[in-house]
Amino acid sequence: MPRVENIGINVNRFCCETDEGSSTFDLCKSCGQEVDDDPLVFYDDLVPYNGDPVGEQGHATGVEHPPYAETDYECEVCGKALYDEDN
């Protein structure tokens, strides 16, 4: 569950108009749980990087991601290294 996606009607419009995807962010279990509890909790910290606008609905959880054991991903909120147990 630690990857979240920038979401909102404005983001959907951007994606349709540009054929670009929305920004996604990898989070540790702890930070991911806070977003799961309140999709707007890290609204200011997770700045879209793909040209998409900040989604007015915050972030959706449960987005597919690569196995963290095979990558060097870090939580984009607290900087913790991500491992398989963060899934």
Which domain range does residue 21 map to? Answer: 3-86
* Per-residue pLDDT at 78 exceeds 60: yes
pLDDT of residue 42: 67
Q: What is the side-by-side strand order in the sheet with 3-6?
A: 24-26, 3-6, 59-60
| DSSP three-state, residue 75 | coil
Domain count, the chain: 1
80 compared with 36, residue with greater pLDDT: 80
Of 2-6, 16-20, 43-47, 81-85, highest mean pLDDT: 16-20
CB 18 within 8 A of CB 51: yes
Mean of pLDDT values over 44-65: 86
pTM listed for this prediction = 0.84
**φ/ψ of residue 19, rounded to 5:** 60, 20
